[in-house]
Structure 1
Amino acid sequence: MSAARLLIRASALALVTLLAACAGGGKPKPEPLEALTPKIAATVAWTQRVDGVQFPLTVAATKGQFTVAGNDGTVMALDADSGREIWRGTAGAKLSAGVGSDGRYAAVVTRDGELVVFDQGQVKWRKPMGGRVTTAPLVAGERVFVLGVDRGVQAFDVLDGRKLWVLQRPGDPLTLAQSGVLAAFKDTLIVGQGPRMAGVDPLRGTVRWDVAVGSPRGANEIERLADLVGPPVRNGDMVCARSFQAAVGCVNAERGLLGWSRNGGGTDAIGGDAQFLFGGDASDRLTAWKAESGETAWSSDKLLYRTLSAPAVFNKSVVFGDEDGTLHWLNRETGEAQLRSTTDGGPISVQPVVSGTTMLVVTRKGGLFAFRQ
């Protein structure tokens, strides 16, 4: 079995193990939805389409625009207010990860392991990565950073594709084929290295600090998978993320110290703001943690087994998508249901993204729905 297939299989088996532990077998039926009288209003401001999303897409929201990508390698930038297409390009192949953008340059990775960088829709350069990538590249400071499934990090000059450095650290026998942590914090590159969060010098590729967010536990290598899942949440000097099936925690990225960590069995990224962090566990039981201390603010089991997406905070709501293409709007302070919105019926597995007054939701069918309140 190839390394890439083993990684994918490990991820799938880990999810199956978690669900079986919760249900004693196959996935239980979703919790019936309670009758709901809408307490807020939200409308679809505009719609667009891409050619489906069957890969771990991260939507980039920068400078009043969304940059998105589809299965067929199409990449496009859309005006966040109107949905107007600003530019469109193609990677020429199906994608395994994407998209990262600084508002001008955008980067994706193909299934063949090729990094493709665009300048306003025109392909600027291509580079083979030499391994599988499932995390969207990070474009920042005139550099493109790529995190491989093997946890290796590569840095390239955004202008000419020149490789600047490689950081390869010892890892575990199995790693997670899911979006990892790769983000910028002031003059530091934040990288997930298994269950640890590392602060890396973006100019040299050297590690400045290294902090454990989760503690792997289990009887075998699959159960001990605890890689950090991205994208992370930044709140001032704190950068917070989930450790796969292990914990949720926050690191002071200025000082390189753990702020707090709480055990938790979830598998998807968290969302949040300056007051709360939000996430679901493997059964879609929702929890809100106080961002400052990690104390539980509220929890809810009213959306169990609905295969929820990672959440987004939008105004006074926290919003989750589900496998039926429904958006669930909850009061961010209490967890009370506020509204349900429909899309095209395709599963929502991509974390909704907010730019200004607009929240963009992407379905696996390729539907793009921009909501406003």
Structure 2
Amino acid sequence: MTVIRQALSKWALSVGIILTLSACAGPDKSKQLDLGPNTPLIGVRSAWTSTVGSVDFPLEIRPVGSLVFVAGSDGTVAAIDARTGGDLWRTSVGVKLSAGVGSDGRYAAVVSKENELIVLDGAKELWRQKLGAVTLTAPFVAGARVFAMSADRSVSAFDVVTGRKLWQQQRSGEALVLGRSGIVMAIGDTLVTGLAGRLVGMNPLNGKIKWEAQVANSRGTNEVERLVDLVSGVSRQGNQVCVRAFQSAVGCVDGVRGNLVWSKSASGSTGVDGDESEVFGTESDGRLIAWKRADGERLWVSERLRFRSLTAPVLVGRSLVIGDEVGTVHFLSRQDGSPLNRLSTDGSAIRSAPVLVGQTLVVVTQRGGIFGFKPE
């Protein structure tokens, strides 16, 4: 786990302490269950493969139509047709990246390790603008604007064509924030972001706050234990958005009124997925949990994949699809988490939650392998 202080003089010390604690508390591999032989109960075939170079940042895959936008740490950015695996375009921005990729289908945006917001029109670079803090969340591109959320959870808006800064929303009092990608999305005419343990609705034209919904509260006796933040990967059904607060809660919010529908204790660090009836998520120890969407009642828990460093799940028909630390893609029953099938990739960790693009399931590994699968 990486954390970033707003006060740069304290940043390196806090990161070092927390990295040490994280390493000492790693998963106990001896407790992993033997998965046994794979007995496929559903058909899944490999459709295509591609590559983008190693991925050492929290890559987010946000499909637009049949396209997926991916990036490697070396600055490679590509738009790939998920139906065929072929490139629509591919380019390099020439610098190492810390966040990406956001796109509206035409314009794409990434962030460099030098905190530069870089915007492309197809494979052509349009502009770069310096951001005020380290940024790990993929920019959000919509309505001729680019919205960038930095690790201190400041939010800035830029004109997508010219790069002119339109506004910035800076919150005070968040001394310690999470070094993971956060939430930036749109619901109707509202820009919705995660700030600390709150889901916040903003006016995208000027950054003014419309509403705030408290999903989780700080807890513990020190700054690290009190760390609470919303992480990327949400389940949206209509105006309702279900989210994960890092190591503290899962909850659902009415994205128009800003009302908290429910919040339940949970100890995960990745996002959630679901449909109109259920919400699914993986806990930090690898347990898979299903909640009733209406009220957060826990429906079932599966411990089959404990201690395997799982991604967030994606719901595909009757399957929950989850990636793990050795590049295995698990297909599990949405009814109880029982195994339906599993496939291997390139032996490196699945870097982001799998995504369904049309009829193709897309996963990206840490080595930069991009795999398209067709569930049958």
The one-letter amino acid paired with 1:215 is N
Q: What TM-score comes out, normalization by structure 1 length?
A: 0.94
Which structure 2 segments of 5+ residues have no match?
A: 1-7
Q: Does the 8 A contact of 1:171 with 1:194 survive in 2?
A: no
| 1:5 positional shift | 3.8
Shift of 1:291: 1.8
Task: Give 1:11 shift.
Answer: 5.8
Match of 1:216 among 212, 215, 218: 218
Q: Note closer, same or farther for the CA distance 1:47–1:8 as it changes in structure 2 (3 Å cut).
A: farther
Q: CA deviation at 1:63?
A: 1.8
Aligned mates of 1:342, 1:42 — CA distance in 2: 12
What letter corresponds to residue 109 of structure 1 in structure 2? V
Once the two structures are superposed, residues 25-66 of structure 1 have per-residue CA deviations (whole angstroms, 9 ceiling, x without a partner) of: x66542221444211010111100011111000012002111
Shift of residue 171, structure 1, vs aligned partner: 3.2
- The residue that corresponds to 1:323 in the other structure is 325
* Residue 133 of structure 2 corresponds to residue 136 of structure 1: no
SS in 2 for 1:132: coil
Choose which of 23, 32, 35 in structure 2 pairs with 1:33.
35
Runs of 4+ in 1 over 6 A off after TM superposition: none
Counterpart among 83, 86, 90 of residue 85 in structure 2: 83
Deviations 1:49-85 (A, max 9, x none): 0111110000120021111000111100011101111
- Residue 360 of structure 1 deviates from its aligned partner by 0.5
Quote the Cα distance in structure 1 between the aligned partners of 2:11 and 2:233: 22
Q: Is the 8 A contact 1:10 1:176 kept in 2?
A: no
Counterpart of 2:230 (choices 217, 228, 231) is: 228
Deviates more, 1:231-240 or 1:155-164: 231-240
Unpaired stretches in structure 1, ≥5 consecutive residues: none
Counterpart residue type for residue 332 of structure 1: R
* Counterpart AA for 2:261: G
Change (3 A) 1:269 1:84: same
Does residue 59 in structure 1 map to residue 74 in structure 2? no
Kindly tell me: are residues 60 and 217 of structure 1, through their superposed partners in 2, closer, same or farther at Cα, counting changes over 3 Å?
same
The farther-off stretch of 3-12 and 26-35 is 3-12
Distance 1:128 1:4 in 2: 20
2:185 to 178, 183, 186: 183
Contact kept? 2:270, 2:282, Cα under 8 Å = yes
Is it true that 1:97 corresponds to 2:99 in the alignment? yes
Is the 1:57–1:99 Cα contact (8 Å) retained in structure 2? yes
The counterpart of 2:113, out of the listed 108, 111, 114, is 111
Structure 2 distance, partners of 1:108, 1:337, is: 36
1:1-373 maps to which residues of 2 (within 5 A)? 2=9, 5=12, 8-9=15-16, 12=19, 15=22, 19=25, 28-373=30-375
RMSD: 1.7
Q: Is 1:194–1:226's contact at 8 Å kept on the other side of the alignment?
A: yes
SS in 2 for 1:61: coil
- In structure 2, the CA distance between the partners of 1:54 and 1:239, relative to structure 1 (3 Å rule), is same
Q: How many residues align?
A: 368
1:198 is matched by which residue type in structure 2?
V
Closer, same or farther: CA 130–314 of 1 in aligned 2, 3 Å: same
TM-score (norm 2): 0.94
